[in-house]
Amino acid sequence: EAGVAQSPRYKIIEKRQSVAFWCNPISGHATLYWYQQILGQGPKLLIQFQNNGVVDDSQLPKDRFSAERLKGVDSTLKIQPAKLEDSAVYLCASSAEDSHNEQFFGPGTRLTVL
């Protein structure tokens, strides 16, 4: 079975620019997650979708970050405008409908903000 796909793999932008990341979860997985992982730290949940509805976005900096999952399948995460502290790896994960299930992670997008 195909894994979680993410693109791009790497992105370098200047501060105040905008950037978007794309994620395609494993087919049939209802839940999709976006995480931010700063170097040397564990992944931090930004937003969690169940189908196309938001379950949790309590740690999403909503003044600059937005995410959508319009048709309940793939998703985009946008940062506008970017700050230096947004430099991190952005990981997308998905899991099946049942709770307690393992999360399957994509390879991540490494963002560098200059």
Partner 1 sequence: SQKIEQNSEALNIQEGKTATLTCNYTNYSPAYLQWYRQDPGRGPVFLLLIRENEKEKRKERLKVTFDTTLKQSLFHITASQPADSATYLCALETGGGNKLTFGTGTQLKVEL
**Binding residue for partner 1 (CB under 8 A) from 18, 80, 101, 112?**
101
Burial readout 81-110 (b: 16 or more C-beta within 10 A, e: otherwise): ebeeebbbbbbbbbbeeeeeeebbbbebbb
Beta-ladder partners of 53: 50
C-beta of 96: minimal distance to partner 1 in Å? 9
Site for partner 1 in 39-58 (CB under 8 A): 40-45, 48, 50, 55-56
Q: Which is nearer to partner 1, 22 or 104 (CB)?
A: 104
Do residues 96 and 28 touch, judged by C-beta distance below 8 A? yes
Interface ranges with partner 1 (CB under 8 A): 4, 31, 35, 40-45, 48, 50, 55-56, 91, 93, 95, 99-108
